[in-house]
Amino acid sequence: MIFGRSQRGKPPVEPVTLKILVAGGFGVGKTTLVGAVSEIRPLRTEELLTEAGRPVDDVSGVEGKHTTTVAMDFGRITLREDLVLYLFGTPGQERFWFMWDELSEGALGAVVLADTRRLEDCFAAIDYFERRSIPFVVGVNCFEGSARYPGETVRQALDLDEDVPLVMCDARDRESVKEVLIGVVQHAMTQAADRRRAVPT
């Protein structure tokens, strides 16, 4: 940039900013996903797990987890010069769900991360977005050492509608996460177009 103008003489583009939520169960990889793709240092609100939380924080299947998100994770990624996504990772435990309504305000769509070792942990997030008609994509986070299942098997286990995209991903890998986020934007735009066509003129 030279004096506020691009080197080719074009005026700077004012990007469209979109809000995407990242939801799912406790320990499924939401903080990792936001951190893997954010072009800024992610804002994190993690606290150490304590003995007092053991009765309510089920760490079976994620025994190596020592911290938990207590408010949200925040990150940003520029997909194109004119398109910026703001990512908000939601807390996974039930006692923090009161924050979801605030975080979902104005969201274009969401990623529901799933772990095949604990699929039931993402049911609450799926129900939440279905009830509020917020477009979402299910990203199956392929953890090392976890069993791999065909996408259709996971779809049936989650009782997902056919129009809900389901993709395999690695929350640690930037390119993998970018594909998931692009999928959310495309799915949300398709749903918006379908709603417009359904409205009588």
Q: Are 57 and 43 in contact (CB under 8 A)?
A: no
Q: Share the mean pLDDT of the chain.
A: 84
pLDDT at 58: 54
Which residues are paired to 69 by β-bridges?
A: 46
pLDDT at 3: 38
Q: Give the residue among 46, 47, 30 at the shortest CA–CA distance from 38.
A: 30
Tokens of 158: 């989650």
Question: What residue spans define the domains of the chain?
Answer: 16-198
Per residue in 30-68, pLDDT tens? 999 999 999 998 876 655 544 444 444 454 554 554 555
Which residues 6+ apart lie within 8 Å of 139 measured at CB? 33, 111, 112, 113, 114, 166, 167, 168, 169, 171, 180
Fold exhibited by the domain 16-198 = Rossmann fold (3.40.50)
